[in-house]
Amino acid sequence: MAHSTRFSRPCAALVHLLCFALPLVTQTALAAVAISSPSSPPAANANVVYSNFLGISLELSFINYYFGNSTDQIPQPVIKYLSALQSRASGQPVRLRLGGNSMDSSTYVPSQQEIIQFTNPNANFNDQPVNYGPQLFDVMKGVSSAVGGAQYLIGLSLRTPNSTNIPLLAGDASKALGDDLDALLLGNDYWTVFGNLQHTPQGDILSQDKIAGPTICCAWHYPQNNCQGKPQYGLNYYTAHANAVSLARWQQHGLELIAASPNRKPILMDEFNSASCGGVDGISNTFAASLWTADYALQMASVGYAGAYLHTRERGITYNLFDPPDAVAGGAGAWTTNPSFYGMLPVAEALSSANGSRVVDLNVQNSMSDKSATVAGEKTNIAWGGKTYAGVGDATPVDATFSSSLPDKTLSCSGGCTIQIPGPGLAVVFLGQTFDFSNSSSSSNTTSSSSPSAPASSNPSNRSGSGASRFSVTGLRLLSALCVFAIALAL
């Protein structure tokens, strides 16, 4: 599992734990695993990521179940979920993407009053086309204002590149969202779309430098395909860190090319989740998915992605982050928080340095290639930092009372320390002192005032700190408690 350390600020280690209910105490304790710091800092041009690394990709057809039908009916729970991310994001806007299969099959109708209209009652369950109107962009803007800032990606159709509606959509979205529009994602045949975007009723969209793409269809965003209801992998796949390492390599060549290019553009994973076509019951809706989400996100950060968007569809889909109520679109009722949402919280906190972080996989116990796993099948009783959404319908987390939930802790770590993590589980450890790459056991008493700015991280002697950079971790069952220790270096 991803276990992130961030080195900065004075004082001892603060440990946040992602836990779930299990009779952990009956299990045998295993030996401590020693974690050593990297011997040299990441290269100066290493990928820099921010606390809003993980975003949410929302399926177009069901957007009004999440955001409501109009700006004055935005459901409070969705504001709370997004605010929970925004408040951990060091002032960075929450990443949101409007997309999914339905984005490709749907039509923008500029004259439509309703936000969403279903157009084909016999459509494939995994691809339900709609007509959508300009109200959608006002509601998106309203959500952004209510959560203190969001940045949107909007997919343009993969299927009808020369549709005259695409420039209308691009123009209207751009006008309504303004700076909240991060980029328009171009699909197939993007040269055709390029030309059209220069001449929209709202002006030349191309000149705004808000075009991203191409978006690539279809199976690659997911570690496995469940479209036929026959999953290839079980739970063990997700708890073995080595699988996250291989999965994150699928675009390695492209990532390397872009990293080497002088005019480096950010690379986004614009849609992913644990299994395609709605996920797998017993995997996508379990604690294993919480852990996998955090592990794979940090792995993507370490190999060069700038951000990644977890996909969420209509109520009842197993991989959803949270489910709207069993009601009409935007209707009142209890929301449900699902395991993968918990995985987003530690990622935001691990990357919380306002100046960005560089993530390094420490390959602890050879975990990048050695697959060992155990079971993490809990669905509901999951906590982060002692708080849980279990049994909560309004997206306001409460104190977790189940026995394996552990509150945040502060430990004295001068000269090293031992941190205990229930397994399976995940901890984010913030080490107090500035970090010394040159000698992990030195002690020069530098305080946080020498906390490195970005380029200084390539200069080890300017990053000296006191000897707290070695620590060991014990878990009641370490086998998969910690598939990996990724270290997020604060800039």
Ligand X SMILES: *[C@@H]1O[C@H](CO)[C@@H](O)[C@H](O)[C@H]1NC(C)=O
Which positions lie near ligand X, rule CB under 6 A? Answer: 8, 64, 69, 114, 162, 328-331, 353-355, 439, 441-443, 445, 451, 453, 456, 459, 461-462, 490
Which residue has the closest beta carbon to ligand X?
453
Distance between CA atoms of 431 and 411, rounded to whole angstroms? 10
Measured from the Cβ of residue 175, the count of other Cβ atoms closer than 10 Å reads 16
Minimal distance, residue 294 CB to ligand X, in Å: 22
Q: Which is nearer to ligand X, 74 or 242 (CB)?
A: 74
Q: Which is nearer to ligand X, 8 or 239 (CB)?
A: 8
Minimal distance, residue 345 CB to ligand X, in Å: 19
Q: Which is nearer to ligand X, 35 or 406 (CB)?
A: 35
Residue with token string 């295993």: 30
Distance between CA atoms of 204 and 213, rounded to whole angstroms? 18
Distance between CA atoms of 239 and 237, rounded to whole angstroms? 6
Chain-centroid distance of CA 234 in Å reads 22
Minimal distance, residue 440 CB to ligand X, in Å: 8
Minimal distance, residue 284 CB to ligand X, in Å: 27
Q: Which is nearer to ligand X, 52 or 243 (CB)?
A: 52
Q: What is the CA radius of gyration of the chain?
A: 22
Q: Which is nearer to ligand X, 186 or 303 (CB)?
A: 186
Residue type, 376: A
Q: Which is nearer to ligand X, 224 or 451 (CB)?
A: 451
Say which residues have a Cβ less than 8 Å from residue 209's Cβ, sequence separation at least 6: none
Q: Which is nearer to ligand X, 10 or 377 (CB)?
A: 10
Distance between CA atoms of 314 and 318, rounded to whole angstroms? 10
DSSP annotation of 303 reads: H
Minimal distance, residue 445 CB to ligand X, in Å: 4
Minimal distance, residue 460 CB to ligand X, in Å: 8
Q: Which residues of 475-487 are buried (b: 16+ CB within 10 A; e: fewer)?
A: bbbbbbbbbbbbb
The terminus-to-terminus CA distance of the chain in angstroms comes to 23
Q: What is the dihedral of CA 284, 277, 296, 420, to 10 degrees?
A: 0
